[in-house]
Structure 1
Amino acid sequence: MKVLHPDWEYVADGVMGGVSRGQAGQAQVADRAAMHLTGTVSTDNGGGFIQMAFDLAEDAGGWTGLELDVYGNDERYDLRLRTTRLTRAWQSFRTEFVATAAWTTIKVPFDTLEAYRTDAIFDASELRRVGVVAVGREFAVDVAVSGVRLY
């Protein structure tokens, strides 16, 4: 297992004209230091997402998956991974998870990721970006991540 130390950043649909609002920052969430994404997703004006994401500096080749410690508001979120093969902003490898109101470790085997709008095959050695995304429907966002690991 390899513990990652992500440098999270906040991204919203405003980059595409959307009007979703939120923020991401370090916080104490249920007695743990975590990156905390909060806000509201709006599908108005062609929008529909907010996210926190980080660029991966480590080589994930040789690892079989990603593990995250998550806490939330019992809503569904996406985990979206991007590799160097993906050339368009809308392309990703993804899966969904529910962030429950208790700290939970989710394990995501790389071979279970779904390719979205790409014919590329996922190659862990090409992994370059990881995002936790609130997307696709109007809802209040409240999700935190306290740990990220390759396994």
Structure 2
Amino acid sequence: MTEIELWPDAGRRRWRLITDMVMGGVSQGTLHAPSAGEHAPVRMRGAVSTENNGGFIQIALDLQPDGGAFDASAFTGIGLEVFGNGETYGAHLRTTDMVRPQQSYRHAFVAPPHPTVLRLPFAEFQPHRIETPFVPARLRRVGLVAIGRAFDADLSVVRLWLY
């Protein structure tokens, strides 16, 4: 395989917003996801705060409807077409090997003010709070995260795919 579209994909997969409020933080965020048939990017906006041990807002996309593994072993990495406010964000991959919410494989990227295609090879993702090597056959979720410092987040995703 050369490529597979993850989003947009005719509504089979849905983005969701997750903030540090799940752990007592005070970061605020919104998610605008286009309606079925609407051709528009998904957009995450908000204010990241490090108060109260917080520090993130995230949009996440489960790759299977049941949250199980998606076999991405035939692919080299994640492709993104994004734009935003020039800030640095994180692409976080989660696999079925993970048992704690803070575990992920991470790759930083900058969201420039105009739509830009980024290719993030799996080999460049760094493990965070997990010892297990990344296994593409166990990929479960892709998250795009504003994290680690106080700032205003504004990130739009035009397209997401595996290459």
Measured against the shorter chain, the TM-score band is over 0.9
Give % identity.
44
Partner of 1:60: 72
1:41 aligns with 2:43: no
Q: Could you tell me how far 1:131 is from its partner in structure 2? A: 0.3
Q: Helix, strand or coil: the match of 1:101?
A: coil
SS in 2 for 1:14: helix
Letter of the structure 2 residue corresponding to residue 21 of structure 1: Q
Pair 1:50-2:57 in alignment: yes
Give the number of equivalent residue pairs: 147
Name the structure with the higher strand share.
1
8 Å contact from structure 2 (residues 43, 157) kept in 1: yes
RMSD over equivalenced CA pairs, Å: 1.1
* Matching of residue 115 in structure 1 with residue 127 in structure 2: yes
Give the TM-score of the pair, scaled to structure 2.
0.87
TM-score, normalization by structure 1: 0.94
Following TM superposition, where does structure 1 have runs of at least 4 consecutive aligned residues deviating by more than 6 angstroms?
none
State the Cα distance separating 1:117 from its structure 2 match.
1.0
Task: Report if the CA contact (8 A) 2:15-2:33 is conserved.
Answer: no
SS at match of 2:123: helix
Within 5 Å, give how 1:2-151 maps onto structure 2.
2-5=4-7, 6-26=13-33, 33-57=40-64, 58-151=70-163
